[in-house]
Amino acid sequence: MPSPTYELFREAMAARQQIVCTYNGHRREVCAVILGHTRGEEKALTYQFGGDTSSVLPAGGEWRCLALSKVSDVELRDGPWLSGGSHSASQSCIESVDFDVNPDSPYSPKHRL
């Protein structure tokens, strides 16, 4: 059974909403693009465009892989859907893709949003 955090991320993806959350003690502003599991752990591939991070967030944002067990204080909000520029490298964050917002997803998601 999916966690409440997983369900909120799925809801945000379906509605193309931004997510504001805390991850490893840092407030982050992200758009979730892929949702699924790696070795049984719920994970999300996100594009972080604002907030804080333990490393440097480049101007314009950067791709981030989030373990949902480390996410708290999730809020969904309206705002521009951001997913960066072209993404040419294949993702290694999620082994089993459940949801993908990309209509041309090469990952064979179980569900398309």
The verdict on pTM exceeding 0.75 is: yes
The overall average pLDDT reported for the chain is 90
Q: At 107, is the pLDDT very low, low, confident or very high (cuts 50, 70, 90)?
A: confident
Sign of the alpha-carbon torsion through 92, 24, 53, 4: positive
SS (H, E, C) the chain: CCCHHHHHHHHHHHHCCEEEEEECCEEEEEEEEEEEEECCEEEEEEEEEEECCCCCCCCCCEEEEEEHHHEEEEEEECCCCCCCCCCCCCCCCCCEEEEECCCCCCCCCCEEC
Q: Using one digit for the tens of pLDDT, what is the confidence trace for 11-47? A: 999 999 999 999 999 999 999 999 999 999 999 999 9
